[in-house]
């Protein structure tokens, strides 16, 4: 990174954060389902949801930890039945992403949540993929799909899901690992990740969101992942911090998620600035924006306001997001040139 960032007055920083081009690398597409769309899809599909209205559902979004969120998140996803539902959900996300100057997005999806309810892998993947194609055409946002295994289920279940996905191999760029972390360490999925590596998928995993640094070590050394999703607990282990910095392992950090799920008591205490200042390749992401109170630019502006980060941090975060993405070297260079131009021309 050779670009010199000019100082920016604190009152101008939010505008710069909003305007700069950026990539989103940690968004669960089912976590972008806004209550309004949940109710619209429930009606369209004749699915009953146990809340009287949008306001009642939204007021249930008071979480104490990851599991308290996951219970509501999986219930919300139950309204998704047809290919068009998956398309509509992803399309709504892409419209918001484009408004936030997200120019590239890598979307997590949880097929086991849907196949367990009798929705086919084909329905899920084709609906999401069609929305990705249209996002490029209509909004200029490039996008790809990362299929996640639910870690509270068995490795055998993950293998079955992988098998179902094979006819759609070309529509999936990578494999991830999500859901309840504590008690479900990465090494539980060693064999299925080894198979995914042989198949040529990019590999990522949630680790160190609520779970210990040991889970980050095994995600790296047993699963062989290229990025760590969250990873904020790495701060507890100096040797791990050195390893992550030395190998430039990207962390897809999600500040408003961490706040809502009580990983940090307030945003001022969030360790994103410390991770960056220690030389780690951290990025900013929204995780489940419909549930956590903000999309990309909300994550940026609120976290910068709370931690006093600077324009230099902003540049580093946006640059890291492109460097850590699964796009070609040429596409990365193109995005970074536009990022440089944005900072150059900002006043």
Q: Would you name the residues annotated as active-site residues?
A: 209
Decide whether 161 or 252 has the Cβ nearer to Zn ion: 252
Distance CA 312, CA 317 (A): 9
Among ligand ADE, Zn ion, none, the one that 231 touches (CB under a kind-dependent 5 to 8 A) is: none
Among ligand ADE, Zn ion, none, the one that 31 touches (CB under a kind-dependent 5 to 8 A) is: ligand ADE
Decide whether 13 or 80 has the Cβ nearer to ligand ADE: 80
Find how far residue 77's CA is from the centre of its chain.
17
Among ligand ADE, Zn ion, none, the one that 209 touches (CB under a kind-dependent 5 to 8 A) is: ligand ADE
Q: Does 288 bind ligand ADE (CB under 6 A)?
A: yes
Decide whether 21 or 35 has the Cβ nearer to ligand ADE: 35
Distance CA 30, CA 301 (A): 24
Q: Does 206 bind ligand ADE (CB under 6 A)?
A: yes
The residue within the footprint of ligand ADE, chosen from 144, 179, 299, 325 (CB under 6 A), is 179
**Residues 33-71, buried b or exposed e (16+ Cβ, 10 A)?**
bbbebbbebbeeeeeebebeeeeebbeebebeebeebbe
CB atoms within 10 A of CB 332: 17
Please state, in angstroms and as integers, the Cα–Cα distance from residue 208 to each residue in 177, 272, 320, following that order. 12, 14, 19
The residue within the footprint of ligand ADE, chosen from 22, 27, 28, 233 (CB under 6 A), is 28
Among ligand ADE, Zn ion, none, the one that 85 touches (CB under a kind-dependent 5 to 8 A) is: none
In whole angstroms, how close is the CB of 27 to ligand ADE at the nearest point? 9
Find how far residue 269's CA is from the centre of its chain.
21
Q: Does 30 bind Zn ion (CB under 5 A)?
A: no
Report how far apart the first and last C-alpha atoms of the chain are (Å, whole number).
22
Distance CA 195, CA 206 (A): 18
Distance CA 238, CA 235 (A): 7
Give the length of the chain: 347
Q: Does 257 bind ligand ADE (CB under 6 A)?
A: yes
In whole angstroms, how close is the CB of 229 to Zn ion at the nearest point? 5
Among ligand ADE, Zn ion, none, the one that 22 touches (CB under a kind-dependent 5 to 8 A) is: none
Judged by CB under 6 A, how many residues of this single chain contact ligand ADE? Answer: 11
DSSP 183: T
Task: Show the site string, 274-313: x = touches Zn ion by CB under 5 A, - = not.
Answer: -------------x--------------------------
Residue numbers at the binding site for Zn ion (CB under 5 A)? 287
């Amino acid at each position: 990174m050779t670009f010199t960032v000019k100082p920016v007055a604190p009152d101008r920083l939010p505008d710069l954060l909003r305007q700069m081009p950026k990539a989103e690398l940690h968004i669960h597409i089912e976590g972008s389902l806004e209550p309004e769309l949940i109710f619209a899809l429930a009606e369209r599909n004749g699915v009953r949801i146990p809340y009287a209205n949008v306001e009642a559902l939204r007021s249930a979004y008071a979480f104490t930890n990851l599991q308290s969120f996951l219970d509501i998140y999986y219930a919300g996803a139950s309204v998704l039945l047809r290919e068009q539902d998956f398309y509509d959900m992803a399309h709504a996300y892409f419209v918001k992403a484009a408004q936030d100057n997200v120019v590239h997005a890598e979307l997590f999806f949880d097929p086991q949540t849907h196949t367990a309810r009798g929705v086919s892998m084909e329905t899920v993947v084709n609906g999401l993929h069609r929305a990705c194609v249209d996002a490029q055409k209509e909004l200029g946002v490039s996008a790809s799909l990362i299929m996640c295994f639910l870690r509270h289920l068995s490795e055998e279940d993950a293998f079955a899901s992988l098998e179902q996905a094979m006819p759609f191999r070309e529509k999936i760029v990578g494999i991830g690992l999500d859901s309840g972390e504590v008690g479900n360490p990465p090494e539980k999925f060693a064999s299925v990740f080894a198979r995914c590596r042989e198949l040529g998928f990019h590999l990522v995993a949630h680790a160190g969101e609520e779970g210990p640094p040991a889970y980050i070590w095994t995600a790296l050394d047993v699963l062989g992942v290229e990025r760590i999703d969250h990873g904020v607990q790495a701060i507890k282990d100096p040797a791990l911090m050195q390893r992550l910095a030395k190998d430039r392992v990207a962390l897809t950090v999600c500040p408003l998620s961490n706040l809502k799920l009580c990983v940090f008591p307030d945003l001022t205490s969030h360790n994103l600035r410390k991770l960056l200042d220690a030389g780690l390749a951290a990025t900013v992401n929204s995780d489940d924006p419909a549930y956590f109170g903000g999309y990309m630019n909300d994550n940026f502006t609120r976290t910068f306001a709370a931690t006093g980060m600077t324009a230099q941090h902003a540049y580093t975060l946006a640059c890291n997001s492109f460097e850590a993405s699964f796009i070609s070297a040429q596409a990365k260079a193109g995005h970074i040139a536009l990022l440089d131009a944005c900072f150059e021309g900002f006043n």
